[in-house]
Amino acid sequence: MSKKVNKNTFFLLLLIFVVSAIGKIYQYTMSEAFGFGIMNYIRNGIINNTLTGQKAFDFPIKIFSVFKFLGFTTNLEWSIFFTLLFTPIMFVLLLKFKKYSLKQYIYIYFSMFVLSWTVFNANKDLIQLIFLLLIYGLFQTKLSNNKKILITAFIFFIESLVFREYYIIEAGLIIICYYFLSKQIKNEKKLGIIKSIIPIFIVFFIGVYLCRFISYSSFDELINRRESLEDITGVTTIIKNVFSGNSTIFFIPNYIINFVRICLPLEIIKFGPKYVIFFIYQVFNISLLQQSIKKLNIKNITYVTLVLSYLIMLVASESDFGTLARHQSVLLMYYINLMKIKEGDINEKQKN
């Protein structure tokens, strides 16, 4: 990690401010009112001091109400504010590394475009980004990997209590993934993504089934979430379940099929030329995760654990490729660290 900022890197990273501006212009001129329904819901709650009774909306309303004194009344005002607030934060975080390759700059610019377009707004995705940035900060400490994962699981557990109930499953998933990935390092086995996830999937499916007895509301939200989102109009890149049904009997085969579809997203291309970039983005992310698992070590295991567990959760909870790209973009700093560890740019000693 660099202690002195490289001038070339500094100026090239300044371009993310331009990219963020382009993303915001795209959002309000060409993206067909992307996400404005949820933003209207949250904005009205802030303005009128009203809650909905749903954690997923009420928590953002409470958090964003801290800025109510600014007097914003439109989605555009909130969007510009959060873009101006979070773009510098991402800029500072990205300055951690002395240099980036051309491929990495392109990845950063595209991710920042997606973040500005879809996340830097008064919406639920920004709350998720905040949680993930807190966890990323935790990963930069000198705590042992075991402690980092346990604290991360606790953060996701807290998130399930105050924000998204089904994230209690993510809290369990991150421990499960870490356990099986740690065994690979201990046994010096270099497995690919498929062999690595088989035991994780088995425990995950058992956990989903048991969840109906421990937290039925979380179970119900996870099982029915995809089908409830399939009926939303205006979504082009929908990922429809092959089998209809709201029990674990249908959930398991649907999940396995959808996981393969997301890891090999060839069907994105059929939606038109403008979606090819999302195909490349998804393939790149999956390829990087695959390579990182094959070269699993004590330096990258926390990042691999979080990205893999998050992917497993996204496959269960998100209904279209566009939403998937949005949720992948909030993992920008995790993917960048995986790239840098793969290249040997991170040399700090890490404790298990």
Whole-model pTM: value is 0.91
Task: Look at residue 68 and tell me whether its pLDDT is greater than 80.
Answer: yes
**Pick from 100-104, 168-172, 217-221, 299-303: least confident:** 217-221
Average pLDDT in the 318-328 region?
81
Task: Look at residue 199 and tell me whether its pLDDT is greater than 70.
Answer: yes
Per-residue pLDDT of 87-111, as tens digits, reads 999 999 999 999 999 999 999 999 9
Which range, 53-62, 88-97, 250-259, 278-287, has the best average confidence (pLDDT)?
Answer: 88-97
Average pLDDT in the 288-315 region?
93
Pick the closest to residue 346 from 108, 338, 134, 107 (CA basis).
338
Per-residue pLDDT of 117-157, as tens digits, reads 999 999 999 999 999 999 999 999 999 999 999 999 999 99
Average pLDDT in the 168-179 region?
92
**Pick from 12-16, 58-62, 227-231: least confident:** 227-231
Which range, 6-20, 41-55, 160-174, has the best average confidence (pLDDT)?
Answer: 6-20
User: CA-to-CA distance for 54 and 41, rounded, in angstroms?
Assistant: 12
pLDDT reported for residue 5: 79
DSSP structural state of residue 6: -
- How far is residue 312 from each of residues 132, 177, 218, 305, measured CA to CA in Å? 16, 10, 16, 11
Place of tokens 């934060």: 89
| 69 burial level (CB within 10 Å; 0-12, 13-18, 19+) | exposed
Average pLDDT in the 48-72 region?
92
What phi and psi, each to the nearest 5 degrees, are found at residue 235? Answer: -95, 115
Q: Does residue 331 or residue 217 have the better pLDDT?
A: 331
User: CA-to-CA distance for 262 and 278, rounded, in angstroms?
Assistant: 11
